[in-house]
Chain A
Amino acid sequence: MHQQLIVFLKSLIGSCKDLLPIILVIAFFQFVVLQQPLPNLGDIFVGLVLVVLGLTFFIYGLEMGLFPIGESMAQSFARKGSIWWLLTFAFCLGFGTTVAEPSLIAVAKEAANVAANGGIIELSDVAQAEYANGLRFTVAFSVGLAIVVGVLRIIRGWPIHYLIIGGYVMVVIMTAFAPKWIIGIAYDSGGVTTSTITVPLVTALGVGLASAIKGRNPMIDGFGLIAFASLTPMVFVMAYGMAIGG
């Protein structure tokens, strides 16, 4: 019990250090540049304590739960030897975790709002909801596909840079044809898809697979799943923009 407490305190201090830069930046800009006092000091203090506690618990649970389950599932699938089930799992994981992702929902809503005001779609709630949902499902589908391609790469041992550079070429070509207003949103959607719970799970899955399959190096083959998940949404969202017209 005593030892556990020491471990907990140590990671608590670690979380404080992680947070220190933000506090310094905000303090500097508030006092020196904007020259204003901090509003609701009590709220801010309580909030910071919560953030530190939350980060500590999260990292604790990460190593206890998320990493082990990701790796054990990867190993079970590798031992079972059924590529189809593994790929189905990969797709579901990518699609399922993205479609409900709060930051994606927020960005889709914002994008719909801006598109309606810009006269791209009708200025009505129905049209906006439709547009936002279309965007969400497009991104979720593309992330599912990305994880499938990424897992296939680990199994086959393809070098990652050919695939990623191929993806870049596709993005560049699509950019030339896609309507202008979708480009910023498309480029952004690559970054918002990967949530805090998905990233550790997917990373553990990749590393677990690469260590379970003979001839694969976890460092070279295990990472890279997230790279695919941030690339495909750009291509698909631009395709979505072209389909909607503009």
Chain B
Amino acid sequence: MELLYEFLNTLKATIVDVIPILSIILVFQLLVIRKPIPKVKQVGFGFLYVLIGLALFLLGLEKALFPLGKMMAEQLTDPSFIYAGQELNASTSWLDYTWVYVFAAAIGFSTTIAEPSLIAVAIKAEEVSGGGIKANSLRISVAIGVSIGIALGSYRIVAGHPIHYYIITGYIIVVIQTMFCPKMIIPLAYDSGGVTTSTVTVPLVAALGLGLASTIPGRSPLIDGFGLIAFASLCPIIAVMAYAQLTQINTQEKQQKKK
């Protein structure tokens, strides 16, 4: 009974979020385009399913994954775990945080696989490319990108390096890759940077970053705690273009062998 009550509350919040989108669509459809919506019944039900689905999804995350994931992020960054068996205030090496990096990479990969907006873009990309791009391969390359990004971002917080050196280096890599990469993949690669980080990834990753920044002596949450998400949106761009380049090289080699 309590679960039903919670579900209705989440559903209400989801509907409130969707109202701006829905009203923009309706106003433009009715006042500017001035045509009835094609297959209005199907679209209506589609919206309903999306709302119910999103509410269930969020409620489930709240109940199962977020508390656990956040707790783990806190425990793994807790001084008593990291410095276990060591004298406190001993000079800390970045190697003391190995489990943090492994956790960062693993949680980045796994949450990206479950990210609904990435699933949406991947479905569309497979459809538009006529199957040339496989939805699952795209999702896996993005997830690898996110996991490398978040691990690297955690290392940056531990090492205390300024964020912009990393991001600017990343940009330079993206620019170089853009010159050599198949034209078809470029817009999709750029897009995959933005879609990776939404419902599932952001709350967990933010908890990890802030936890890490408040544990390590000399780090301020204000300057060092943020920025993990930026890594998570930059690295997938590189990963997706790398995936396209590898596929291209692979097919070229095969063609050469045939000759």
Binding site for B on A (CB under 8 A): 18-19, 21-22, 24-26, 28-30, 33-34, 38-39, 43-69, 72-73, 76-77, 80, 85, 89, 92-93, 96-97, 99-103, 106-107, 110-111, 114-115, 117-118, 120, 160-161, 164-165, 168, 171-172, 175, 180-181, 183-185, 187-188, 190-201, 203-204, 207, 218-227, 229-230
Contacts and interface: CB of A to CB of B under 8 A. Distances in A.
17 contacts: A25-B106, A48-B64, A50-B56, A50-B57, A51-B57, A51-B114, A62-B50, A62-B120, A65-B43, A76-B29, A165-B175, A181-B223, A191-B232, A194-B194, A200-B121, A204-B124, A223-B187
B76 interface: yes
Contacts of A57: 49-50, 52-53, 56
Contacts of B191: 203, 223-227
Interface string B55-98: 11111111111001100100110000100000000000000000
Contact of A180 (B42, B99, B223): B223
B53 A190 contact: no
A43 B194 contact: no
Nearest to B49: A61
A199 B190 contact: no
A192 B198 contact: yes
A100 B17 contact: yes
Contacts, number: 352
A101 B21 CA distance: 11
Given A21-B113, A34-B75, A207 B124 contact: yes
B160 interface: no
Given A46-B60, A187-B226, A220-B186, 18 more contacts: A21-B113, A26-B68, A43-B63, A47-B65, A49-B60, A53-B53, A55-B57, A59-B53, A69-B46, A72-B38, A168-B175, A172-B171, A187-B227, A188-B230, A194-B195, A197-B18, A219-B128, A227-B190
Contacts of B37: 69, 72
Given A58-B53, A89-B28, A160-B190, A191 B72 contact: no
A34 B46 contact: no
B65, B187, B195, B229 interface centre (most CB from chain A within 10 Å): B187
Nearest to A70: B25
Given A34-B72, A57-B49, A187-B167, A230 B56 contact: no
